[in-house]
Amino acid sequence: MKRIVPVMVHHETGEKAQAAGKKNQEYLKYCIAQAKKYNEKVVLLGDEFNKEWADEWYPANDFITDKWKEFHSVFENYSTYPQAWAEGIFKRFFLILEYLERNGFEECVIIDSDVLVYLDVSEYEPFRHCKVAAETPLYQDLDMLPPGNALQWKTCAGFSYFTKQGLIEFTDFCIDMYRNHKEELMVKWDVHRKYGLYGGVCEMSLLDLFVETLPEGEYLNLLQDDQNNCVFDNSVGESSGYLEQQYEYIKRLRVKNLQWEDGRPFCYTNEGRQKTYFLNLHFVDITKIFMEGVYKDQRYSAHGKFVTYMLILRGRLADIKHGNTKWQQRLKYNKARRTNS
């Protein structure tokens, strides 16, 4: 029998509008449809507003467990993010673990709902040799601080692979860190508070700390090319991958300069112009507006380009209003450093 690895998506947002203003965050439809092109089993743990968008849909809250309630009881928000969001970004790992337990699966791939997939995950050979696979960039400094601070703590599960045992261990790790080792998390949060920096401790932070505890060979970094010059994308809206400014980039749109060959997206690296195929595309933040055009026509649509210009302007104004631009963050850092010196 063919080895089946389910592709798992968790999405609960009700009728909240997406970046371009459409209700129900319609980009989720393209995420599910694209994953179905390549994969036999795609599962959506969602809400009543998206139940028609997946052949295999379940109410997310049906998978709430005592383990999730235990995490809720020990969780504290060490970030500038709203409380509900800061806790909710951990939820899918607990829900998906329960789905695997109930349905007898020993592994899965987890994708964000703004990801397009271009491979059959059940056939991806590197997954057979690890416990966890996710996306860890080489550069891990907080930009506002002196070089070498290594306080980014960033490992992204936007496209990730977990064995069931890996999910058990990661969820156990999250509970243990918030219950017994909060002082370790405060190392990062204290810096954010001291210098007024946006962000803090999130699920990427805990995943980054977790994969550092795994024995050699149990973690696969999906941002590093495989033997076929294929790699996984952590953000269409960034020129970076494993390395900073790694790929060709369209600055006016703030997106990678994607090209296509036989239905597969690729991009050239800036150094050496290495042709690199992407096995997924991740449309973070305002780049979600491009998902429909890329899914249907393999291109950045004209409408998406226009809306992007408007959203970039609006986002820039919002960042200025809330003091989140790089120069404002730098001012906060310098002011705090003078105050504390």
Tens of pLDDT along 276-292?
A: 999 999 999 889 989 99
Name residue 255's beta-bridge partners: 250
Quote the pLDDT of residue 163: 98
Integer CA distances (angstroms), 311 to 49, 58, 180, 217, 317, in order: 25, 33, 42, 42, 10
Quote the pLDDT of residue 41: 98
C-alpha closest to that of 120 among 10, 42, 228: 42
Helix (H, G, I), strand (E, B) or coil at 93: helix
Quote the pLDDT of residue 322: 58
Quote the pLDDT of residue 1: 65
pTM given for the model: 0.89
Quote the pLDDT of residue 279: 98
Tell me which residue has tokens 């959506």: 44
Report the half-sphere exposure of 246 (CA within 13 A, side-chain side). 23
DSSP 242: S
Residues shown for the chain: 341
Cα–Cα distance between 254 and 245 in angstroms, integer? 12
Strands 156-163 and 107-111 come out as: antiparallel
Burial group, residue 92, by CB count within 10 angstroms (0-12, 13-18, 19+):
buried
Quote the pLDDT of residue 301: 85
Contact 170, 212 (CB under 8 A): no
Quote the pLDDT of residue 18: 55
Integer CA distances (angstroms), 202 to 154, 174, 253, in order: 9, 11, 28
Cα–Cα distance between 254 and 251 in angstroms, integer? 5
CB neighbours (10 Å) of residue 279?
20
The span from the first CA to the last CA of the chain, in angstroms, equals: 66
C-alpha closest to that of 184 among 78, 94, 91: 78
Quote the pLDDT of residue 315: 58
Cα–Cα distance between 109 and 25 in angstroms, integer? 22
Strand ranges, E, within 60-168:
107-111, 115-117, 132-135, 156-163
Quote the pLDDT of residue 2: 76
Cα–Cα distance between 80 and 82 in angstroms, integer? 7
Cα–Cα distance between 35 and 55 in angstroms, integer? 12
What angle do the packed helices 203-212 and 182-195 form, to 10 degrees? 130
Quote the pLDDT of residue 304: 72
Low-confidence ranges of the chain (pLDDT < 50): 20-21
